[in-house]
């Protein structure tokens, strides 16, 4: 399973000393603060961006979008605000505009890894697997011990049908982080698509021991069990997966595993 960078990680990296709950008062406080008035635009950009990030954490994409727009009005070169606005567009389902904002964030700050993660996620959702893999390649090139990047590249390669390469990536991710349910889940998908049902079920079993609510592992294990002739076990796993994630059947159809 792909691991998203996520608004929570980005918020933790960007919020000032004030907690996220206080961000609603940030903008007003900055406006009233006459200390260093020559830096008011920079301070307002940071305050609006912080409030944008706090809204993203709550799923308030319209409010986040409005606040990131304001942040960029005050600082048009604010790479994090472009990244955050991309997340808001992605949350609203506009992956093309999200990708454009991630592009700009990376142009402004080529070392902004979170924007590469988010752009790769958007590319994968648009079935642009080569472009997603290029972003993961770059993350791994600069951060070779990032288990999440190895797992995400494994997942994308598994979806794209690059199955042997996917297995190698998952093995590296698990070497770096042996207790990763997500990497076990990703390797389970690669084994499933290879037709190696015993290893697929073993990986899904191990993933579910760590995270019993992992819908992709429940569904993938159900598919593998069905292919092995265990109809009752398959039906139970698939029903449990659908209870957690109602769209899981369509999701796995997109992965080419059903």
Same-domain status, 247 and 135 = no
Question: Mind listing the pLDDT tens digit for each residue in 18-50?
Answer: 444 444 455 555 555 555 555 678 899 999 999
* Total number of domains in the chain: 2
Q: Region 126-138: what's the mean pLDDT?
A: 97
225 in a domain, yes or no?
yes
Question: Mind listing the pLDDT tens digit for each residue in 139-164?
Answer: 999 999 999 999 999 999 999 999 99
| Per-residue pLDDT, 94 | 98
SS (H, E, C) the chain: CCCCCHHHHHHHHHCCCCCHHHHHHHHHHHHHCCCCHHHHHHHHHHHHHHHHHHHHHCCCHHHHHHHHHHHHHHCCCCHHHHHHHHHHHHHCCCHHHHHHHHHHHHHHCCCCHHHHHHHHHHHHHCCCHHHHHHHHHHHHHHCCCCHHHHHHHHHHHHHHCCHHHHHHHHHHHHHHCCCCHHHHHHHHHHHHHHCCHHHHHHHHHHHHHHCCCCHHHHHHHHHHHHHCCCHHHHHHHHHHHHHHCCCHHHHHHHHCCC
Q: Region 236-243: what's the mean pLDDT?
A: 98
151 in a domain, yes or no?
no
153 in a domain, yes or no?
no
Contacts of 152 (CB under 8 A, 6+ apart): 2, 3, 117, 120, 136
**Predicted TM-score of the model (pTM):** 0.85
Task: Tell which of 108, 143, 178 closes a domain.
Answer: 143
Same-domain status, 139 and 193 = no
Question: Mind listing the pLDDT tens digit for each residue in 101-113?
Answer: 999 999 999 999 9
26 in a domain, yes or no?
yes
Same-domain status, 126 and 193 = no
Distance, CA of 97 to chain centre: 17
| Per-residue pLDDT, 1 | 80
For residue 95, pLDDT beyond 60: yes
| Per-residue pLDDT, 18 | 40
For residue 130, pLDDT beyond 50: yes
Distance, CA of 26 to chain centre: 28
CATH number at residue 231: 1.25.40.10
Which range marks the domain in which residue 223 is found? Answer: 164-258
Same-domain status, 134 and 20 = yes
Looking at per-residue confidence, does 36 or 258 come out higher? 258
Distance, CA of 8 to chain centre: 11
Same-domain status, 78 and 189 = no
Task: Tell which of 143, 178, 193 closes a domain.
Answer: 143
159 in a domain, yes or no?
no
Same-domain status, 248 and 216 = yes
| Per-residue pLDDT, 31 | 52
């Amino acid at each position: 399973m792909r691991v998203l960078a996520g608004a929570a990680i980005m918020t933790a990296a960007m919020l000032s000393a004030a907690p996220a709950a206080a961000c609603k008062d940030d903008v007003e406080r900055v406006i009233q603060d006459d200390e260093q008035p020559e830096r008011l635009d920079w301070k307002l950009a940071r305050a609006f961006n912080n409030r944008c990030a706090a809204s993203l954490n709550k799923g308030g994409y319209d409010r986040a979008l409005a606040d990131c727009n304001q942040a960029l009005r005050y600082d048009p070169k604010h790479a994090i605000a472009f990244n955050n606005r991309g997340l808001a567009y992605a949350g609203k389902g506009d992956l093309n505009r999200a990708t454009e904002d991630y592009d700009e964030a990376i142009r402004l700050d080529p070392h902004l890894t979170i924007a590469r993660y988010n752009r790769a996620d958007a590319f994968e959702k648009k079935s642009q697997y080569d472009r997603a893999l290029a972003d993961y390649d770059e993350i791994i090139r600069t951060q070779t011990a990032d288990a999440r990047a190895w797992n995400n590249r494994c997942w994308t390669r598994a979806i794209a049908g690059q199955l042997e390469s996917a297995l190698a990536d998952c093995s590296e991710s698990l070497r770096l982080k042996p207790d990763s349910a997500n990497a076990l889940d990703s390797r389970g998908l690669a084994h499933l698509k290879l037709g190696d049902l015993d290893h697929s079920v073993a990986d899904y079993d191990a993933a579910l021991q760590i995270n019993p609510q992992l819908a992709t592992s429940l569904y993938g294990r159900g598919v593998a069990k069905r292919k092995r002739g265990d109809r009752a076990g398959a039906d139970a796993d698939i029903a449990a997966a659908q209870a957690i994630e109602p769209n899981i059947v369509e999701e796995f159809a997109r992965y080419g595993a059903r």
